[in-house]
């Protein structure tokens, strides 16, 4: 039964459908593993034992009567602590929201529950989701599966750790600048950032409503495909027969290759060679307008986040981790005209980017320029924190700024991912491409 903890969500679903695994037993295996784990309280903020067992019992009864709701009915997953859960605290990793208990589930959680997924609990995260590192001295800093002294990536830090340590079959996180893809890459998982607006943010504690997205952290592209369908109440894409033969991939040579550390660079270069060997055509292109997009990004993120969090932050600033407090307060000085002008600039750049990349099936790059940084040093060296946080999120932020879907895959090198950016709203095509890439890379 311990092997179940390391199976893909899709394989668990198939085993439930075949009658080989009972959802009640499966859920108890996960709950027991969580409660016995040395990092339980660093990964899970709250474990929803009663809810999980009740949902598993219902899934078990459906399986026995041939009434399963979908391929993941009865599969246990975790949820980042910014998705509202009825009757269970949702605190977004901050003391500012301590004791906040919503009355209803977030819409994506409602959809997942309707599809039969079992909620194991809420995972820790970077405070208010405003960091790609996963360091949170206010609540808890989750561990990285590849380095006990390093951070796991954020802001969906506990989400990534819950899957990487075998304490959830998959996890649901949010991605505003890379918060699904960084913990996925640093914990050797698959992570999908959806197009902004594809999945409902209703009942989700926001960071930046103009950039926030939702996506799964999981073990396979197939899992990501099935989870996306469950979250939106739709049908999964058909991944059968996907191939890289003749696929055109663009290596982005603007900003993202700069200062990439040795291990991520070597892992990316090796992965590109494997994709080419599988039939992909790879070209290098430069997109100079990306500099302008990065130049306006700081004001847009800061103003958006401060606009929502201002009252809570200014009422109790002493409750916040100073690094996060400084970041969110950066929105104080952004004027309305500057904010609007920034958005006008970014919208124009998005159109240019879409035209420049339209001939390619995906734009590829190293998911992160760096490996997971040392947690203790991040706490004591402010300059190190700032520089590593910016580098961690730099490459992933391209997809958020350009408003496209994006997926990271493991390269086989610990904590090094390769990222595939599609076009806006083309998740099905991206999933097919990544299913083929996954085969080539494994």
Residue-wise pLDDT tens digits, 326-346: 999 999 999 999 999 999 999
Per-residue pLDDT at 13: 98
Question: Is 155 one of the annotated active-site residues of the chain?
Answer: yes
Q: Give the span between the Cα atoms of 388 and 266, in whole angstroms.
A: 19
- Phi first, then psi, for residue 368 (nearest 5°) are -130, 145
Tell me which residue of 168, 173, 163, 88 sits closest to 129, measured CA to CA: 173
- Mean pLDDT across the stretch 200-210? 98
The sign one gets for the Cα dihedral 213, 214, 216, 222 is negative
Per-residue pLDDT at 388: 98
Q: Where are the domains of the chain?
A: 2-232, 248-291+333-441
Per-residue pLDDT at 1: 83
The catalytic residue among 179, 184, 242, 406 is 179
- Mean pLDDT across the stretch 120-124? 98
One DSSP character per residue, 17-60 reads HTTSS-HHHHHHHHHHHHHH-TTHHHHEEEE-HHHHHHHHHHHH
SS3 for 244? coil
Establish whether domains 2-232 and 248-291+333-441 are of one fold: yes
Q: Which residues pair with 123 in a beta bridge?
A: 44, 80
In the chain, % of residues over pLDDT 70 = 100
Would you place residue 2 in the very low, low, confident or very high pLDDT band (cuts 50, 70, 90)? confident
Per-residue pLDDT at 442: 87
Element (H, E) at 193: strand 190-193
Element (H, E) at 362: strand 362-366
- Fold that domain 2-232 belongs to in CATH: Amidase signature (AS) enzymes (3.90.1300)
Is residue 280's pLDDT more than 90? yes
Is residue 184's pLDDT more than 90? yes
Could you name the CATH architecture of 248-291+333-441? Answer: Alpha-Beta Complex (3.90)
Q: What is the pLDDT of residues 392-407, one digit of tens each?
A: 999 999 999 999 999 9
Q: Give the span between the Cα atoms of 386 and 161, in whole angstroms.
A: 23
CB 97 within 8 A of CB 128: no
Element (H, E) at 78: strand 76-80
Question: Within 278-374, where are the H helices?
Answer: 290-315, 322-329, 336-357
Q: Give the span between the Cα atoms of 173 and 80, in whole angstroms.
A: 5
The catalytic residue among 60, 78, 80, 415 is 80
- Mean pLDDT across the stretch 359-379? 98
Is residue 83's pLDDT more than 90? yes
Element (H, E) at 281: strand 281-285
Question: Is 193 one of the annotated active-site residues of the chain?
Answer: no
CB 90 within 8 A of CB 174: no
CB 142 within 8 A of CB 150: no
Question: Is 243 one of the annotated active-site residues of the chain?
Answer: no
Work out the number of other CB atoms within 10 angstroms of the CB of residue 154. Answer: 33
* Unique residue bearing structure tokens 């079959």: 169
The answer to whether the predicted template modeling score (pTM) of the entire model surpasses 0.85 is yes
- Mean pLDDT across the stretch 352-360? 98
The catalytic residue among 155, 157, 220, 242 is 155
Q: What is the pLDDT of residues 6-43, one digit of tens each?
A: 999 999 999 999 999 999 999 999 999 999 999 999 99
Q: What is the pLDDT of residues 296-312, one digit of tens each?
A: 999 999 999 999 999 99
Please count the CA atoms within 13 angstroms of the CA of 355 that sit on its side-chain side: 7
Q: What is the pLDDT of residues 126-183, one digit of tens each?
A: 999 999 999 999 999 999 999 999 999 999 999 999 999 999 999 999 999 999 999 9
Mean pLDDT of the chain: 98
């Amino acid at each position: 039964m311990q092997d179940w903890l390391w199976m893909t969500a899709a394989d668990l679903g198939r085993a439930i459908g075949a009658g080989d695994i009972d959802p009640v037993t499966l859920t108890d295996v996960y709950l027991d593993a969580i409660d016995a784990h040395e990092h339980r309280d660093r990964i899970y903020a709250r474990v929803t034992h009663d809810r999980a067992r009740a949902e598993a019992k219902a899934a078990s009864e459906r399986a026995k009567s041939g009434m399963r709701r979908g391929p993941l009915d009865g599969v246990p997953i975790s949820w980042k602590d910014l998705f509202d859960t009825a009757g269970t605290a949702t605190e977004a990793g901050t003391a500012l929201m301590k004791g906040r208990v919503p009355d209803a589930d977030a819409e994506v959680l409602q959809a997942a529950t309707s599809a039969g997924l079992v909620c194991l609990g809420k995972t820790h995260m970077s405070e208010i989701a405003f960091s790609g590192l996963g360091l949170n001295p206010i609540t808890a800093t989750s561990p990285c599966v590849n380095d006990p002294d390093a951070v796991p990536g954020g802001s969906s830090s506990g989400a990534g750790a819950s899957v990487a340590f075998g304490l959830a079959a998959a996890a649901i996180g949010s991605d505003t600048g890379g918060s699904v893809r960084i913990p996925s890459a640093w914990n050797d998982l698959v992570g999908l950032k959806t197009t902004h607006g594809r999945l409902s943010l209703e009942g989700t504690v926001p960071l930046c409503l103009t950039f926030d997205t939702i996506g799964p952290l999981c073990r396979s592209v197939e899992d990501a495909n099935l989870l996306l369908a469950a979250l939106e109440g739709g049908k999964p894409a058909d991944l059968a027969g996907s191939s890289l033969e003749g696929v055109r991939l663009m290596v982005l040579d603007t900003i993202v290759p700069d200062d990439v550390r040795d291990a991520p660079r070597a892992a990316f270069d090796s992965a590109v060679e494997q994709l080419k060997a599988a039939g992909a055509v790879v070209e290098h292109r430069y997109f100079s307008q990306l500099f302008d997009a990065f130049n306006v990004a700081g004001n847009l993120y800061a103003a958006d986040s401060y606009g929502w969090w201002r009252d809570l932050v200014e009422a109790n600033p002493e409750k916040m981790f100073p690094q996060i407090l400084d970041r969110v307060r950066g929105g104080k000085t952004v004027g309305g005209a500057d904010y609007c002008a920034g958005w006008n600039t970014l919208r124009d750049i998005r159109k240019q980017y879409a035209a420049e990349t339209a001939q390619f099936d995906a734009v590829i790059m190293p998911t992160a320029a760096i490996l997971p940084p040392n947690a203790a040093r991040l706490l004591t060296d402010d300059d190190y924190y700032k520089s590593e946080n910016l580098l961690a999120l730099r490459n992933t932020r391209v997809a958020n700024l350009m408003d496209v879907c994006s997926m990271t895959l493991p390269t086989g090198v610990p904590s090094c991912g390769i990222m595939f950016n599609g076009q806006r709203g083309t998740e099905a095509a991206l999933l097919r491409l990544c299913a083929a890439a996954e085969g080539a890379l494994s």
